[in-house]
Chain A
Amino acid sequence: MKRVEIRLSLEAVLPLIAVIREAADSLSDDLAAPNSLGDIEPDLREGWREDLVSAQNEAITVLLALFDETFDESGVVGFDADNAEPVLRACAAVRLRLRERFLKALNEEVLESGDLEIESLQEPARKAFMCYLFLATIQELIIQHLDTSILDG
Chain B
Amino acid sequence: MSTHEQGSPSSAGATATALEPRWHVAVLNDPVNLMSYVVLVFKKVLGFSETEARRHMLEVHEQGRSVVWSGARERAEHYAFALQQWHLTVILESDEAR
Contact = CB atoms under 8 A, between A and B. Distances in A.
B39 to A, nearest CB: 9
Interface residues of A, number: 32
Given A52-B84, A108-B31, A151-B43, A92 B89 contact: no
Interface stretch (A3-11, A18-26, A33-41, A69-77): A33-41
A79 B61 CA distance: 29
B91 interface: yes
Size bin of chain B's contact surface:
20 to 34
> Main SS of the interface on chain B?
mixed
B37 A35 contact: no
Given A88-B37, A136-B34, A33 B89 contact: yes
A49 B36 CA distance: 26
Q: Which of B81, B84, B92, B93 has the most CB of A within 10 A?
A: B84
B68 interface: no
A89 B87 contact: yes
Q: Which of B32, B77, B85 has the most CB of A within 10 A?
A: B32
Interface string B32-68: 1110110010011000000000000000000000000
Given A48-B81, A92-B37, 8 more contacts: A55-B85, A92-B87, A96-B87, A108-B31, A112-B31, A139-B36, A143-B34, A147-B40
Interface of B: 30-34, 36-37, 40, 43-44, 77, 80-81, 84-93
